[in-house]
Amino acid sequence: MTLTDTEQDFVVTRIVKAPRARVWEAYSQADQLARWWGPKGATIRVLKLDFRPGGLFHYAMEFQPGHPIYGRFIYGLIDEPHRLEYISGFSDENGGLTRAPFPQLEGRFPLEIHNAVTVEEKNGATLVTGRSTPINATRAEIETFVGMFDSMRGGFDGTFDKLDTLLANR
């Protein structure tokens, strides 16, 4: 794996009002991921979760019933409950890697992204930090990725709002 030489990784942080162990469960259990992963307005179906190094998280995300967008993670480092790394990408219904299914991107979004998530206990709450870096991306793919930071921040704000709601209700 070669990480793209970019100075502008996408970084997102959030203070979650729950203990680190509880946040880790939300990242590592299928029933939890189904309830909070993905932007607001999206329904997630977990098709497969094999939470181990080399394992797969394959999911279908729907904003409209009957129109799934598939995605996958291939897990790398899992250092419970401190750090999680995975390679993410869009996929087909069988988990095969595909390009982003959005016509406006026309193959210009990176095929794969390396993601590192750290989970740190902070005064009874948890600081979650995610860093995403394109892998083997072209200059055009990197520019598209960087150009989408505002949109991705909005998506992750909604995702973390859903995580907050899940953790508050437990």
Contacts of 158 (CB under 8 A, 6+ apart): 39, 40, 41
Alpha-carbon distance of 139 to 110, in angstroms, equals 10
**Is 4 among the domain residues?**
no
- The single residue listed with the structure tokens 């329904």 is 43
How many domains would you assign to the chain?
1
Instruction: Say which DSSP state 55 is in.
Output: -
**Is 55 among the domain residues?**
yes
Least confident window among 80-84, 104-108, 162-166: 104-108
When computed from its CA atoms, the radius of gyration of the chain, rounded to whole angstroms, is: 15
Q: Provide the domain limits for residue 158.
A: 10-168
**Is 15 among the domain residues?**
yes
**Is 3 among the domain residues?**
no
**Is 140 among the domain residues?**
yes
pLDDT at residue 7, as a whole number: 64
**Is 1 among the domain residues?**
no
Give pTM, 2 decimals.
0.92
pLDDT at residue 103, as a whole number: 85
Of the chain, the percentage scoring pLDDT greater than 70 comes to: 95
71: domain CATH number? 3.30.530.20
pLDDT at residue 2, as a whole number: 47
pLDDT at residue 124, as a whole number: 87
Of the chain, the percentage scoring pLDDT greater than 90 comes to: 88
**For the segment 15-50, what is each residue's pLDDT rounded down to a tens digit?**
999 999 999 999 999 999 999 999 999 999 999 999
**Is 5 among the domain residues?**
no
Mean pLDDT of the chain: 93
